[in-house]
A and B are shown apart, each in its own frame.
Chain A
Amino acid sequence: MDNLIPVLVAVPLLGAALLLCGGRRLDRVGHWLGTLLAFASFGVGLALFFSMLGRSAADRPVHLNLYTWIPVNGFQAEVGFQLDQLSMTFVLLITGVGSLIHLYSIGYMAHDEKRRKFFGFLNLFLAAMLLLVLADNYLLLYVGWEGVGLASYLLIGFWQHKPSAATAAKKAFLVNRVGDVGLSIAVMLMFTTFGTFAFTPVFADAPKATQATLTGIGLMLLLAACGKSAQVPLQSWLGDAMEGPTPVSALIHAATMVTAGVYLITRSSAIFNLAPTAQLATVVVGAVTLLFGAIVGCAKDDIKKALAGSTMSQIGYMVLAAGLGPIGYVFAIMHLVTHGFFKAGLFLGAGSVMHGMNDEVDMRKYGGLRKYMPLTFVTFGLGYLAIIGFPGLSGFFSKDKIIEAAFGHGGTEGWILGTCTLVGAAVTAFYMTRVMLMTFFGEKRWVPDADGHEPHPHESPAVMGAPMVILAFGSVFLGGLFSINSSFVHWLSPVTGYQEGHSPLSTTTVTACTTVVLLLGVGVAWMMYGRKPVPAVPPLGSLLTRAARRDLLQDDFNHVVLVSGGSHLTRFLVYLEGKGLDGLVNGIAALIGGTSGRVRKVQNGYVRSYALSMFGGALVLAATTLLMRAV
């Protein structure tokens, strides 16, 4: 049974190879083939899951060594898989949500002439992401890490005829590289410290390493997580990544790939638990990002960018929870799973709206769509209720637990973090209500597109509707399911460890606070966007609004500090190189050239001058001989 683990990765990889190398003869069946293979992978995942459920908690992790990748004396790189409860959770999320999004894409990409390639890339992504979560060592994880980066790049730039998409793809790739450098340094540090990068020995030996090494590894892993999960300060790529097709945004930039950073931190819990500085950095990054993303989400009129801000913010919650240590890991992963469902559902809903509105993304040109797209309205609405944490739905259970854990961190830090998460919850309620009201309520604000086509909003085909319905079910029930008898905690705690936080507030108080701030956020949004008509042209707005529309000046910051700073540094180095190194080299050349020019004049072609030098030489020889004799 456990020999099926490599099949999980191999099936979508086979799909990618077939679809990308198969040529035009697969054009007609390619999308069904890709979807079928994704579902096959999901089926294998389910089989493994039930087989794992049948065993006791201690026997659940399975280890499978496939072959030695690089057998060098003193450097053994193995290709091995490790399937434990944490990997299993991810496998089911990736293949489950991934399969649904494959299905949705059949409808969404129906009229795209490069559809076969699109499914090839999606399958490639699934394979890389599964490799990432199944690897039993950091080097193989790194392979998957780079693989998902590649798939993300290819899919963001899928419509590369649009310069904005091509640029966004490059931006995502470059920013991710910065994070990847962190991961590679962490892997190297592990190898020099522990002599291996396999999970089990590294975690076992972690207590023997010095505090400085552990902090270094932790901070480098955090940098990697920041890059992949779009956390401050490497967050700038996620908004632009929305240039990709909407199913890509749903799968890669909401549900799975961007959560790889949270996986990395949770997987490395043994290291983070021993490095309090790295943990502190992690919670700070999480807290800053959750507010940052939420503020950006409030100001965006582009529905996908508003959702991207929300993704950033929700992953901020997860990173914060993961930084809290054993009181948070389980809830980080729980929020990750529920978020995977409701955010994928929201993105698919947004895609469905765009599908019906001639690919318009500006929410100021929507309005009143609930009558025209009832199914999208209901599924999007359930996703909306889940993300704002409406009592009883998925987001309520997972987010509440994180807020509770943040307070449970204890001391002043706990209060600050708890307040941040509460404020984040209020802002989440505000911006999601804003999206909801601007899209589905109010009067019509539709305008013809550039070619003069009047939009005719219509419900999407069943192949797109079905995944939305299933994801909506997940958004509603998953959180409750996980919370019955704390089943998720029991499931995951053998891997990540779990301990109760000592919250200064009781669970009831936290829940009450969350509900109050939620109602506050919804109320403010309703006052601003529900009670009075939404202006079709965005008002100037306050200074903060204008900054938030520009992603809180993140690109301007990057431009001023990194781009112009970098070019100044480069110019300085070019100057140094020109004056220093080139000066030295050119100086030596000029010296030799000049000297030769002068010495050359001795060779004047007159016999007598050569004769004179011969006489001179003979004289010197004779004089020397005589002198030596005399001495």
Chain B
Amino acid sequence: MNPVNYLYLASLLFTIGAVGVLVRRNAIVLFMCVELMLNACNLALVTFSRLHGNLDGQIIAFFTMVVAAAEVVVGLAIIVSVFRTRHSASVDDTNLMKL
């Protein structure tokens, strides 16, 4: 199977994630969309690794996964504590810092 198809899939997933970030309000969904974009990038990196025949992309993908895991821990903790205080997971409601 032509590896370029994986790239198509990766860009499709990235686009879905990006559109989700732009149009959704729920913080959890937003978060999932961000994860989707990260993983689309991972897929693209692994594909490039395969195409070029070296391991660089795969190593970067591991780094991405580690960073994403850390980000999930921090991000979910923030979302949970925001939900506890404001009883809403909508990102539009967290605008206290706005002038």
**A→B interface (CB under 8 Å):** 600, 603-608, 611-612, 615
Contacts of B21 in A (CB 8 A): 608, 611
Provide the bound-state CA to CA distance between A612 and B30, in Å. Answer: 13
> How many residues from B make CB contacts under 8 Å with A?
11
Choose one: A604, A611, A615; the contact of B98 (CB below 8 Å): A604
List 10 A-B pairs, minimum CB-CB distance, nearest first: A605-B98, A605-B95, A607-B91, A608-B22, A611-B21, A612-B22, A611-B22, A606-B92, A615-B18, A608-B21
Provide the bound-state CA to CA distance between A353 and B33, in Å. Answer: 111
Bits for B83-99, please: 1 = Cβ < 8 Å to A, else 0: 00000000110010111
Contacts of B22 in A (CB 8 A): 608, 611-612, 615
Contacts of B98 in A (CB 8 A): 603-605
Main secondary structure of the interface of A (DSSP, over half): helix
Closest residue of B by beta carbon distance from A606: B92
Contacts of A603 in B (CB 8 A): 98-99
B1 contacts the other chain (CB 8 A): no
Cβ-defined contact, B30 with A605, below 8 A: no
Q: What is the minimal beta-carbon distance from A611 to any residue of chain B, in angstroms?
A: 5
Contacts of A608 in B (CB 8 A): 21-23, 91
Provide the bound-state CA to CA distance between A612 and B91, in Å. Answer: 15
Closest residue of A by beta carbon distance from B95: A605
Provide the bound-state CA to CA distance between A604 and B95, in Å. Answer: 9
Closest residue of B by beta carbon distance from A615: B18
| A/B interface sample: 6 pairs, CB < 8 A | A603-B99, A605-B95, A605-B98, A607-B30, A608-B91, A611-B22
Other than A603-B98, A605-B98, A612-B22, give 18 A-B pairs with Cβ distance below 8 A: A600-B99, A603-B99, A604-B98, A605-B95, A605-B97, A606-B91, A606-B92, A606-B95, A607-B30, A607-B91, A607-B92, A608-B21, A608-B23, A608-B91, A611-B21, A611-B22, A615-B18, A615-B22
Q: What is the minimal beta-carbon distance from B86 to any residue of chain A, in angstroms?
A: 14
**B→A interface (CB under 8 Å):** 18, 21-23, 30, 91-92, 95, 97-99
Q: What is the minimal beta-carbon distance from A622 to any residue of chain B, in angstroms?
A: 12
Contacts of B30 in A (CB 8 A): 607
Provide the bound-state CA to CA distance between A612 and B97, in Å. Answer: 19
Closest residue of A by beta carbon distance from B18: A615
Provide the bound-state CA to CA distance between A612 and B21, in Å. Answer: 9
Contacts of B91 in A (CB 8 A): 606-608
Q: What is the minimal beta-carbon distance from B30 to any residue of chain A, in angstroms?
A: 7
Closest residue of A by beta carbon distance from B96: A605
Q: What is the minimal beta-carbon distance from A601 to any residue of chain B, in angstroms?
A: 10
Provide the bound-state CA to CA distance between A605 and B92, in Å. Answer: 8
Provide the bound-state CA to CA distance between A604 and B97, in Å. Answer: 10
Contacts of A612 in B (CB 8 A): 22
Q: What is the minimal beta-carbon distance from B25 to any residue of chain A, in angstroms?
A: 8
Contacts of B92 in A (CB 8 A): 606-607
Contacts of B99 in A (CB 8 A): 600, 603
Closest residue of B by beta carbon distance from A608: B22
Q: What is the minimal beta-carbon distance from A614 to any residue of chain B, in angstroms?
A: 9
Most-contacted residue by chain B among A603, A604, A608 (CB, 10 A) = A608
Provide the bound-state CA to CA distance between A607 and B29, in Å. Answer: 13
Contacts of B18 in A (CB 8 A): 615
Closest residue of A by beta carbon distance from B91: A607
Provide the bound-state CA to CA distance between A608 and B21, in Å. Answer: 7
Contacts of A606 in B (CB 8 A): 91-92, 95
Closest residue of A by beta carbon distance from B27: A607
Provide the bound-state CA to CA distance between A611 and B18, in Å. Answer: 9
Q: What is the minimal beta-carbon distance from A604 to any residue of chain B, in angstroms?
A: 7
Provide the bound-state CA to CA distance between A608 and B33, in Å. Answer: 12
Provide the bound-state CA to CA distance between A604 and B30, in Å. Answer: 18
Provide the bound-state CA to CA distance between A586 and B21, in Å. Answer: 43
Contacts of A611 in B (CB 8 A): 21-22
Contacts of A604 in B (CB 8 A): 98
Most-contacted residue by chain B among A605, A606, A612 (CB, 10 A) = A605
Closest residue of A by beta carbon distance from B22: A608
Provide the bound-state CA to CA distance between A603 and B99, in Å. Answer: 9
Closest residue of A by beta carbon distance from B33: A611
Q: What is the minimal beta-carbon distance from A443 to any residue of chain B, in angstroms?
A: 93
Contacts of A600 in B (CB 8 A): 99
Q: What is the minimal beta-carbon distance from A372 to any residue of chain B, in angstroms?
A: 91
Provide the bound-state CA to CA distance between A350 and B77, in Å. Answer: 104
Q: What is the minimal beta-carbon distance from B18 to any residue of chain A, in angstroms?
A: 6
Q: What is the minimal beta-carbon distance from A563 to any residue of chain B, in angstroms?
A: 54
Most-contacted residue by chain B among A603, A604, A607 (CB, 10 A) = A607
Q: What is the minimal beta-carbon distance from A609 to any residue of chain B, in angstroms?
A: 9
Q: What is the minimal beta-carbon distance from A49 to any residue of chain B, in angstroms?
A: 87
Q: What is the minimal beta-carbon distance from A347 to any residue of chain B, in angstroms?
A: 78
Q: What is the minimal beta-carbon distance from B21 to any residue of chain A, in angstroms?
A: 5
Q: What is the minimal beta-carbon distance from A593 to any residue of chain B, in angstroms?
A: 15
Closest residue of A by beta carbon distance from B98: A605
Q: What is the minimal beta-carbon distance from A363 to any residue of chain B, in angstroms?
A: 82
Q: What is the minimal beta-carbon distance from B96 to any residue of chain A, in angstroms?
A: 9
Contacts of B97 in A (CB 8 A): 605
Provide the bound-state CA to CA distance between A608 and B92, in Å. Answer: 9
Q: What is the minimal beta-carbon distance from A621 to any residue of chain B, in angstroms?
A: 15
Q: What is the minimal beta-carbon distance from A570 to any residue of chain B, in angstroms?
A: 44
Q: What is the minimal beta-carbon distance from A608 to any residue of chain B, in angstroms?
A: 5
Q: What is the minimal beta-carbon distance from A419 to any residue of chain B, in angstroms?
A: 87
Contacts of A615 in B (CB 8 A): 18, 22
Provide the bound-state CA to CA distance between A57 and B88, in Å. Answer: 112
Closest residue of B by beta carbon distance from A618: B18
Contacts of B95 in A (CB 8 A): 605-606
Provide the bound-state CA to CA distance between A607 and B30, in Å. Answer: 10
Closest residue of B by beta carbon distance from A604: B98
Contacts of B23 in A (CB 8 A): 608
Provide the bound-state CA to CA distance between A607 and B27, in Å. Answer: 10
Provide the bound-state CA to CA distance between A603 and B92, in Å. Answer: 13
Closest residue of B by beta carbon distance from A607: B91
Provide the bound-state CA to CA distance between A605 and B97, in Å. Answer: 8
Provide the bound-state CA to CA distance between A607 and B78, in Å. Answer: 15
Provide the bound-state CA to CA distance between A600 and B18, in Å. Answer: 25
Q: What is the minimal beta-carbon distance from B6 to any residue of chain A, in angstroms?
A: 20
Provide the bound-state CA to CA distance between A605 and B30, in Å. Answer: 16
Q: What is the minimal beta-carbon distance from B23 to any residue of chain A, in angstroms?
A: 7
Contacts of A605 in B (CB 8 A): 95, 97-98
Provide the bound-state CA to CA distance between A612 and B23, in Å. Answer: 10
Q: What is the minimal beta-carbon distance from A603 to any residue of chain B, in angstroms?
A: 7
